[in-house]
């Protein structure tokens, strides 16, 4: 199997050489915006190159071990070859998933919003479980995440949370989670141990780079400051620096309370607003093809994209792709790759 053509290694090596020359030129680092954009491109190129080299090395190792096994009737080499082949296939599947990420904003960071549905404490607890699921997935991927805003529930859990997942293709991967998520379990808050059904939504937008022009006029903004709510702790600032911005023409409201100052919170909130306005424009284009964002549906029956059943049996099923996993605990601990891969293949086939 020849990978070089598929990865366009020659083209990427040429571009990395051009970037190296740019970095060495005088004044390059003086323009922070341009330098940041080039560094992001460099990171993506290096990731592709590293992937190619790793696949190539594993293939070569497999060929050598197989040659030893066949020429010397070496059982040990044969066993090692099988082990290398399994690792190769698993890694190649991950590479195939990346190959499905071809849309313009797929390489971007992801802004994730989680909201509880109707049902009080039950849905707030479920929203917190989803928050943990997505952030655990991010940790597994070695991605960083930054919490911008958390609204805690009255008794337990969270009413809503907004956070940024930072990493190559974070948006492209996490767009699989957009929609309503349904939980079925024996409620830990029910003294009679009855089964409850809860709903919460996840909505994901790409973090918009500064070079994408989104016009926001001051006269269209209503900006309020307030004391941050919630239980405090590492994710929530408790000074009078929280910011709420309402974009009057669109009705979009964003909040941020994680930073130490009003200025920093305002900057983060404006970044989220720009991303939501960008996504709104993209939705207008999608509407021409009668495509509706699942994350905009009512958080309730009949609109869920995925069900998590913890009683009377354990099963997580995606209703778009029919992908099923029996280990619900593993999924809730952040093991989402099987669902992400199935979604991306389904998404490409339905574009």
Of residues 175, 178, 196, the one with CA closest to residue 187: 196
Distance CA 44, CA 341 (A): 20
Residue pair 13/53 in contact by the 8 Å Cβ criterion: no
Which 3 state secondary structure label does DSSP give 116? strand
Which of 308-317's residues contact partners 24+ apart within 8 Å by CB, and which partners? 308/181, 308/182, 308/183, 308/184, 308/332, 309/184, 309/185, 310/183, 310/184, 310/185, 310/186, 311/184, 311/185, 311/186, 311/195, 312/195
Residues ≥6 apart with Cβ < 8 Å to 295: 178, 179, 180, 201, 202, 203, 204
Angle at the Cα of 239 from the Cα atoms of 234 and 243, rounded to 5 degrees: 95
Amino acid 7: pLDDT: 61
Find out whether 205 and 276 touch, Cβ atoms under 8 Å: yes
Q: How far apart are CA 244 and CA 254, in angstroms?
A: 6
| CA–CA gap between residue 269 and residue 254 (Å, rounded) | 6
Give residue 82's pLDDT.
Answer: 85
Q: Whose structure tokens read 């009855």?
A: 194
Instruction: Judge whether 62 and 88 are in contact, CB under 8 Å.
Output: yes
What's the pLDDT at 168?
87
Torsion sign across C-alpha atoms 269, 275, 278, 282: negative
Low-confidence ranges of the chain (pLDDT < 70): 1-8, 209-213, 229-239, 285-302, 351
Handedness of CA 105, 107, 113, 114 (dihedral sign): positive
Count H helices, E strands: the chain?
9, 11
CB 213 within 8 A of CB 232: no
Q: Is 64 exposed, middle or buried (0-12, 13-18, 19+ CB in 10 A)?
A: middle
Which domains, from first to last, does the chain contain?
4-99 (1.20.58.410), 110-349 (3.30.70.1660)
pLDDT for 101: 83
Q: Are 148 and 272 in contact (CB under 8 A)?
A: yes
């Amino acid at each position: 199997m020849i990978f070089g053509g598929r990865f366009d290694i020659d083209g990427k090596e040429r571009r990395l050489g051009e970037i190296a020359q740019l970095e060495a030129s005088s004044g390059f680092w003086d323009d922070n915006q341009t330098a940041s954009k080039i560094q992001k491109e460099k990171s993506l190129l290096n990731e592709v190159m590293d992937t190619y080299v790793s696949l190539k090395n594993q293939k070569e190792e497999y060929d050598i071990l197989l040659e030893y096994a066949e020429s010397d009737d070496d059982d040990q080499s044969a066993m090692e070859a099988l082990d290398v082949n399994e690792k190769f296939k698993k890694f190649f599947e991950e590479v195939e998933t990346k190959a499905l990420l071809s849309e313009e904003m797929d390489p971007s960071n992801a802004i994730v919003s989680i909201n509880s549905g109707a049902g009080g404490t039950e849905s707030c607890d479920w929203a917190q479980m989803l928050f943990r699921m997505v952030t655990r997935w991010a940790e597994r991927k070695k991605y960083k995440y930054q919490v911008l805003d958390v609204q805690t529930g009255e008794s337990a859990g969270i009413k809503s949370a907004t956070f940024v997942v930072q990493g190559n293709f974070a948006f492209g991967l996490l767009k699989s989670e957009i929609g309503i998520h349904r939980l079925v379990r024996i409620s830990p808050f029910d003294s009679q141990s009855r089964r409850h059904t809860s709903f919460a939504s996840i909505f994901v937008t790409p973090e918009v780079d500064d070079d994408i022009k989104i016009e926001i006029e001051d006269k269209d903004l209503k900006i309020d400051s307030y004391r941050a709510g919630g239980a405090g702790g590492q994710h929530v600032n408790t000074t009078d620096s929280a910011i709420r911005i309402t974009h009057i023409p669109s009705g979009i409201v964003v909040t941020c309370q994680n930073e130490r100052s009003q200025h920093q919170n305002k900057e983060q909130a404006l970044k989220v607003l720009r991303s939501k306005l960008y996504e709104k424009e993209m939705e207008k284009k999608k509407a021409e093809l009668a495509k509706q964002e699942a994350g905009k549906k009512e958080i309730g029956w009949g609109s869920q994209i995925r069900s998590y059943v913890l009683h009377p049996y354990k099963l997580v099923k995606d209703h778009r792709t029919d992908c099923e996993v029996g280990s619900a605990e593993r999924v809730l601990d952040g093991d989402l790759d099987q669902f992400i891969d199935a979604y991306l293949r389904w998404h490409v086939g339905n574009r």
